[in-house]
Amino acid sequence: MGGIRRCYGASMRSQFVFSEIWIGLRRNLTMTMALVVVVALSLSLLGTSLLFVKQVDKTRSVWQAQVEVAVYFCVASSANAVCQQDGPATPAEETQLEQRLRQMPQVESVRYISQAEAYQDFRTYYSNLPGLVNLTKQGDIPDSLGIKLRNPNADYGVVQSAVNGAPGVDTVQNEAVVLGNFYQLLEAARNAVAIMAVIALVAAVMLVANTIRLSAFNRRRETAIMRLVGASNLYIQLPFLLEGTIAGLIGWAIAIGLIIGAKSVLLTSLTKYVSFNAGLGTGDLIEVLGLALLAGVVICATTSFVTLRRYVRV
């Protein structure tokens, strides 16, 4: 009989807690809906910034492994005054420079890229811009040398000095500098989204606190009676804590669609203009959604608890 009474008592307490949660959500429906929307937006912005972080880190690791110094040879269409005066680079000049570079201790490897190969790479890379591809002929794309340095930061100056002014050389380009500027652009976009996410999270915290305070104020008579009959603080506060947590879960459920949309629309749209060569997989998306869930639950539950402890006498 004692076990039956305990089970019955636990069932009644559970029913009471859930009924109090429903009453609180229904009484403060407008505040609850606003809270869900703010939580959804803040978590979606947080998830989008995390996706940006992952995309930038993956792109950096892939591109840094492939970064080279590009030496472009003179062709008939070169605008360089030296190239116009001396004409296109001869095979002997190209071979001589390639052999000299291979003998330098700063150089790890050298690969020759013919005009045909460069033109094919150009057509592939700019396939989304057919107008530019149609206006460009194979002879407009110079052949080049791709130089991989042992230490890109320390050895570039030495190699540049050896190449600049060599017969048949048009321009020398350090891909690390170009990539550095591109990384700064990506990181600026990521930081902007992160700042908006922080602002939205602060707004969510404030709204959670106001919602819980209003809910507790509306039910101050019920909580006073519960104190008189000997209810514990945890039992009295539990409905309020669960209200905030449930609102956070609903907001997270909405944020799932927004985060998936951000990955599908935003990052996919960027690939039309920039080839990342390092896409985000399903595992990355699941990890971001899990972190967003954790953030939503922790923020809502913690804010509810602190609000009840510091500002509300229940």
% of the chain surpassing 70 pLDDT: 75
How many Cα atoms are found within 13 Å in the side-chain-facing hemisphere of 155?
15
For residues 193 and 260, state if they share a domain. yes
The per-residue pLDDT for range 252-291, each reduced to its tens digit, is 898 888 888 877 776 666 655 555 555 677 788 888 888 8
For residues 214 and 289, state if they share a domain. yes
For residues 118 and 48, state if they share a domain. no
175-218 vs 233-261: helix axis angle to the nearest 10?
Answer: 140
In a domain, 97, yes or no: yes
* Token code pair at residue 105: 């201790």
> Domain of 128: which CATH number?
3.30.70.3040
In a domain, 199, yes or no: yes
Please choose, from the candidates 291, 287, 285, the residue with its C-alpha nearest in 3D space to the C-alpha of residue 260: 285
Q: Which of 143, 167, 191 is the last residue of a domain?
A: 167
For residues 52 and 193, state if they share a domain. yes
Contact between 176 and 67 under an 8 Å Cβ cutoff? The reply is: yes
The number of distinct structural domains making up the chain is 2
In a domain, 173, yes or no: no
Distances (CA, A) of 246 to 90, 208, 240, 308: 73, 11, 10, 16
The per-residue pLDDT for range 192-246, each reduced to its tens digit, is 877 887 887 888 888 778 777 777 666 666 666 666 666 666 666 677 777 778 8
For residues 151 and 95, state if they share a domain. yes
31: pLDDT strictly greater than 50: yes
**Enclosing domain of residue 162:** 75-167
For residues 190 and 287, state if they share a domain. yes
For residues 187 and 298, state if they share a domain. yes
In a domain, 131, yes or no: yes
For residues 50 and 13, state if they share a domain. yes
Q: Which of 167, 194, 215 is the last residue of a domain?
A: 167
Q: Average pLDDT for residues 25-39, to the nearest whole number?
A: 72
94: pLDDT strictly greater than 70: yes
- The Cα 183–Cα 191 span in angstroms is 12
Q: Name the CA dihedral angle for 212, 216, 217, 218, rounded to a multiple of 10 degrees.
A: 100
In a domain, 69, yes or no: no
7: pLDDT strictly greater than 50: no
Confidence category of residue 3, pLDDT binned at 50, 70, 90: very low
Contact between 39 and 300 under an 8 Å Cβ cutoff? The reply is: yes
For residues 51 and 195, state if they share a domain. yes
For residues 195 and 150, state if they share a domain. no
- The Cα 176–Cα 178 span in angstroms is 6
In a domain, 101, yes or no: yes
Q: Which of 136, 167, 198 is the last residue of a domain?
A: 167
In a domain, 189, yes or no: yes
134: pLDDT strictly greater than 60: yes
In a domain, 140, yes or no: yes
Which of helix, strand or coil describes residue 261?
helix
Distances (CA, A) of 230 to 62, 235, 250, 307: 63, 10, 33, 22
For residues 290 and 223, state if they share a domain. yes
Taking the whole predicted model, whether its pTM rises above 0.75 is answered as: no
List, in sequence order, the alpha helices (H) in 28-114. 29-66, 81-86, 91-102
For residues 127 and 52, state if they share a domain. no
pLDDT given at position 267: 63
